[in-house]
Structure 1
Amino acid sequence: MSQTLDEKVAVILGGTGGIGAATAHRLALSGACVVVVGRDDLSHARTVAEGLPGEGHCAALASITDSATLNDLAGTVRHRYGRADILVNAAGFTQPVKHDNLDALTDDLIDDMFKVNWRGQFAALRAFHTLLAESGDGLVVNVSSISATTGVGSNIAYCAAKAGLDIMAVSLGRALAPRIRVVNVSPGVVDTTFVPGRGADFNDKVAATTPLGRIGTPDDIAAAIEACATHLKFTTGVTLVVDGGRRLN
């Protein structure tokens, strides 16, 4: 039976990116009021929010590396809506570094990888914890990566940060139940500009070696996130792989 998100409020960090914007659209179609959160371009966030189906959506800015802005965002959401039911952590960052080039993976870059791809997601959940718990049916969805288990990714620190994000879902899925569920969605290669320098040639090569014959689209990942909110109500503390079978190679 189809499930709707009527009267639910969804906050999407990284809401102006490929996966974030696609998720905003799907959750809005399902009836949610969506808060599209960008990092520093409110105009872009507003454009995404204004293009969503339905009513009651808004745009906001916050940085996942600045907990004060996340706390302010939670306060703004409480003031405007009085609730938050779904938090999607779709923000992230990476930089390609060959795995055998140890000197290129500097201390500063390692710190940035974990600050943006692990600490930021935890900080966002911490900021929204009270609102999500008050919902009684709170859901956090983090966008992970199959690099967490394959060890094949843009750089070693990125793989490690995503592995940490997956174990965070296990820990917090246990700790925050039953009022908040925590689920990770783990893509393979997705057709976005997320990884600098990856173009059509790379995508075509990966598609040719992926069992389902193509790379992922932002909507593929958004559909999985939507399913976490609408159908997989008895699921928490796990990572759902959405990669076309890429990890099987």
Structure 2
Amino acid sequence: MADAMDGTVAIVTGGGTGIGAAVVRRLAARGVRCVVNYAHSRDEAEALVADIGNGSIAVQADIVEDAACRALVAAGVDRLGRVDFLVNNAGRTKHANHEDLDALDAEDFVDIYRLNTIAPFQMVRAAVPHLRDSGMGAVVNVASVAGVFGMGSSVAYAASKGALDTMTRSLARVLAPQIRVNAVAPGYVGTGWFEKKLGAERFAALNERIAAATPMAIAATPEDIAEPIVMLLDPATRVITGETVLLDAGAHLDVGLSRRPGREH
């Protein structure tokens, strides 16, 4: 039986590395051509589209600028003929202990909010006419458990992802019934960023510690996050909109609770 997603087109922001690249590969396996957006990771994005070899394209755009968002969508339509799906994956943070209120200033908040919250809104706005025409239009925003529980790399990051979570529900309401809008909220994800920062040995040790602290005993990989994203894009999930799916191997079950016996926290 033919795959309903075969022949469709998706835009994936921040698609050259990490979760975004895993999403592109999974979509390509379903017959989806992708507009792989990148801001700085040109080599990785171009290597990715060359590797999957299905007509996907790599497009540079700094999506904090509204004009760049509109140009990115236009590139997808002009070169691939349509846009059916949008994955708002690009994001940034600044690491600062939540207890240290002096570690962040107003510019940190604005900088993070522009990419993590405003840019997804701009991308949705630019893509809406084409998503409506698709007949199966769907958006997935990559939020974070940080935005759900007020935790993570910094207060500014948590606030931006919390806003993205709320915006997901707002857009789901106003864009129905033609377009579905959902979000995923990953916890820890063992991306190449961690491996480069820590080195192979310390990265492996970190994954072991994370796995020991989750009910499912898993340290998530980008591929673990990509599959639920693609699931939410799939027309087979047409009854799902306005949802945020926690992707943290059950770690949220322990938030605010005492130490679990046999688990390392």
Q: TM-score, normalising length from structure 1? A: 0.93
Match of 2:71 in 1: 72
Share of identical aligned residues, percent? 38
Structure 2: gaps spanning 5 or more residues: 255-265
**Whole-angstrom distance in 2 between the partners of 1:85 and 1:218:** 23
Match of 2:46 in 1: 46
Structure 1: gaps spanning 5 or more residues: none
Code of the aligned partner of 1:26 = R
Question: Which is worse superposed, 58-67 or 39-48?
Answer: 39-48
**Whole-angstrom distance in 1 between the partners of 2:11 and 2:3:** 19
Match of 1:233 in 2: 238
**Whole-angstrom distance in 2 between the partners of 1:70 and 1:169:** 18
Match of 2:217 in 1: 213
242, 246, 253: which one aligns with 1:248: 253
**CA shift at 1:204, angstroms?**
3.1
Q: TM-score, normalising length from structure 2? A: 0.88
Would you say the 8 A contact 1:10–1:87 is kept in 2?
A: yes
**Whole-angstrom distance in 2 between the partners of 1:102 and 1:197:** 25
**Whole-angstrom distance in 1 between the partners of 2:114 and 2:238:** 30
**Whole-angstrom distance in 2 between the partners of 1:218 and 1:42:** 19
**Whole-angstrom distance in 1 between the partners of 2:24 and 2:43:** 16
Query: What RMSD, in angstroms, separates the aligned Cα atoms of the two structures?
Result: 1.8
Code of the aligned partner of 2:243 = V
**CA shift at 1:130, angstroms?**
1.3
**Whole-angstrom distance in 1 between the partners of 2:67 and 2:40:** 15
Pairing 1:139–2:144 present: no
Would you say the 8 A contact 1:93–1:194 is kept in 2?
A: no
**CA shift at 1:158, angstroms?**
0.8
**CA shift at 1:4, angstroms?**
3.8
Code of the aligned partner of 1:240 = V
**Whole-angstrom distance in 2 between the partners of 1:248 and 1:2:** 38
Code of the aligned partner of 2:169 = V
**CA shift at 1:69, angstroms?**
1.1
Would you say the 8 A contact 1:169–1:182 is kept in 2?
A: yes
CA 1:244 to 1:41, structure 2 compared with 1: closer, same or farther past 3 Å?
Answer: closer
**How many aligned positions are there?**
248
